[in-house]
C-alpha cells in the first residue's frame, strides 16, 4: 500500500534519458528522461514483444517505450531456472539492453533496477526483530547496506506469523561491466542498482560519470535471484552465489 509499484520482482530504471528524441515528460519534475520505475502519470512502459521457452529458460524481447509509445530501448531478457536442492531455487536473469536510433543515458536515481519487495513478516521494520537483511561481507541492516556496493544482498525472515524462515537473495554477476550498489530498505524493498551514482547513493562516493549507450550500443547485465528455505546461513546463500558465478 505504501509503494503501489513494488510488484513482485521487476527490472527497470527510474530515469532513462533518450538523447535527441521527442518524448512525453514525466509528471515527476525530478525525472529528466522516462520513468520506468514508478506508476506516476506519464511513466514509461516495458512492453512484451515476443517470447520462447527453451528447456528451463524463458527468452523474451521487450520494448521500453516512452508515454507516447516510442521505443527508447530494446531489452532481451533470458530467465533460467536452476534448482540447487530442496528448498533452493536459483533464477538467472541474463539481460541485454540496446539503444535504438537515439543514444540513451541512465540517470542518477536510486529508483532502479532489479527489485523485489518482501512480505511484512520478513521486513526489518515490521518483523518484530525477526527479519534480517545481509550482504556478502556479513554486514546487516539498512544503514550498513543502503547505497553500498556489494556482490549480493539477502532478505530473510519468517514467512508468516508462525511460519518457517525463508528468504530471497539478489546477486550481481562479477562479470558485469558495472558493479552494483543496493537500494535496500528496512520496510521491505531490496533492489540491485548499477546505474545510480554518488548524488543518489552516498556509498558511491566520487563516482559521478553516468552510464551511457550510444546509438545501437548494448549493455549486458546478469543477476541471480535465489529463493531459499532457512536464513542466510542455513539457506546456503554464499554457496549459491559461487554456483551462480560459475554458470556461463
How does pLDDT run along the chain (248 residues), one tens digit per residue?
A: 788 887 889 999 999 999 999 999 999 999 999 999 999 899 999 999 999 999 999 999 999 999 999 999 999 999 999 999 999 999 999 999 999 999 999 999 999 999 999 999 999 999 999 999 999 999 999 999 999 999 999 999 999 988 899 999 999 999 999 999 999 999 999 999 999 999 999 999 999 999 999 999 999 999 999 999 999 999 999 999 999 999 98
Which tens digits make up the pLDDT trace of 65-78?
A: 999 999 999 999 99
Q: Which residue, chain included where needed, has cell 520494448?
A: 63
**Dihedrals phi, psi of 91, to nearest 5 degrees:** -105, 130
Give the three-state DSSP class for 142: helix
> Of 188, 176, 165, 31, which is closest to residue 111 (Cα–Cα)?
31
Give the chain's length. Answer: 248
The tens digit of pLDDT for each residue in 122-134 reads 999 999 999 999 9
Instruction: Kindly report the pTM of this predicted structure.
Output: 0.96
CA–CA dist 188, 105 (Å, integer): 28
Amino acid at each position: 500500500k505504501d509503494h503501489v509499484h513494488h510488484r513482485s520482482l521487476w527490472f527497470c530504471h527510474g530515469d532513462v534519458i533518450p538523447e535527441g528524441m521527442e518524448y512525453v515528460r514525466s509528471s515527476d519534475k525530478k525525472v529528466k528522461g522516462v520513468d520506468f520505475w514508478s506508476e506516476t502519470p506519464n511513466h514509461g512502459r516495458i512492453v512484451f514483444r515476443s517470447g520462447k521457452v527453451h528447456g528451463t529458460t524463458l527468452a523474451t524481447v521487450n520494448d521500453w517505450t516512452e508515454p507516447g509509445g516510442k521505443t527508447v530501448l530494446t531489452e532481451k531478457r533470458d530467465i533460467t531456472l536452476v534448482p540447487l536442492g530442496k528448498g533452493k531455487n536459483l533464477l538467472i536473469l541474463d539481460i541485454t539492453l540496446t539503444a535504438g536510433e537515439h543514444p540513451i543515458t541512465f540517470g542518477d536515481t536510486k529508483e532502479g533496477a532489479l527489485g523485489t519487495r518482501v512480505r511484512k513478516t520478513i521486513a526489518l521494520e515490521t518483523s518484530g526483530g525477526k527479519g534480517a537483511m545481509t550482504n556478502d561481507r556479513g554486514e546487516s541492516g539498512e544503514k550498513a547496506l543502503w547505497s553500498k556496493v556489494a556482490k549480493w544482498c539477502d532478505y530473510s525472515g519468517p514467512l508468516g506469523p508462525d511460519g518457517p524462515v525463508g528468504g530471497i537473495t539478489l546477486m550481481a554477476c562479477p562479470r558485469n561491466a558495472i558493479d552494483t550498489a543496493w537500494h535496500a530498505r528496512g520496510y521491505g524493498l531490496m533492489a540491485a542498482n548499477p546505474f545510480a551514482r554518488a548524488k543518489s547513493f552516498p556509498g558511491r562516493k566520487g563516482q559521478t560519470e553516468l552510464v551511457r549507450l550510444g546509438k545501437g550500443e548494448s549493455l549486458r547485465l546478469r543477476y541471480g535471484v535465489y529463493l531459499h528455505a532457512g536464513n542466510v546461513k542455513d539457506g546456503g546463500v554464499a554457496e549459491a552465489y559461487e554456483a551462480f558465478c560459475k554458470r556461463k
